[in-house]
Structure 1
Amino acid sequence: MKIFQTLSELSALAGQEVTVSDWITITQEQVNQFAQATGDHQWIHVDVEKAKTGPFGGPIAHGFLTLSLLPKFFESSMTVVETRMGVNYGLNKVRFMAPVPVGSRLRARMKLLKSEPIDNGGAQMTWEVAVEREGSAKPVCVAESLARHYP
């Protein structure tokens, strides 16, 4: 866990990889709960037996489930002490580059692309987030994520 005292301390790292998150394991229960919450019950995610005969040899996580883990990756890897809140502002681009089989372990590498001042002394940060699957040479997801933080 990296700890920064202020937004300006973190902002000074623009252009650098700032942190790498902890590993998390993707479970079938998570996949099923995500399907229930979103209404996406495609068999490659939730029908374990049928998925074994499918193109991935077993069930895979939804791409948007992987994307929805970005806040967890950030939370497990860094904190800014003198910040009262942060909000997701959006995404510039997202690519799902490889499947995430159930049982996979994922982590994220976060590179701060830029930090720009916003109202109330805050900062809008643009991050390149590469989600890695343990044992895989290429990322499963790469996203450019925007967040606004306020002191």
Structure 2
Amino acid sequence: MKDLAPNHRFYKSLLPLLLTFIGCLILIAALKNYLFILGPMILITVIIGYLFAKRSYNKYANAYYDSEYLYLSYQSETIKIKLQDIISVRLSKPEVKLMGIPYHDYMITYQNKDQSKDSYSFLVNSINYNIETFEKIINYYSPDTRIDRY
């Protein structure tokens, strides 16, 4: 099994924690003269940030694939999707740059067992070579799948 979206859950939960830290710094700067309010406000901010990070971590999946299936691994379950059930994949233009590395939005649209459409998207950097391998495997096993690149 190859990793398609390395540490996707980690990155999605890191942002709420980072925003919580920044919020605490702002509170410290704004309420430095009101120390009796500062402690409870920081505690409330940390609790809310933790709950958002935990919810975010549980909500998003990491993606793995092999020659037959795409696996979406959530905290509580793993969903197996046949490569033949993938309708389209789309790699967008770079939307975000982190430390000079451009990140693209990668969306996989697939058909569920109940014949409804669903999608999974994640950010991928230009260094991730598993995307090209994944697209070659999809082309081989499911030539009808539409592959769009910006």
Q: Same fold (TM over 0.5)?
A: no
| Structure (1 or 2) with the greater helix fraction | 2
TM-score, normalisation: structure 2? 0.25
Instruction: State the structure with more CA Rg.
Output: 2
TM-score, normalisation: structure 1? 0.25
Instruction: Identify the structure with bigger relative contact order (alpha carbons < 8 Å, sequence gap 6+).
Output: 1
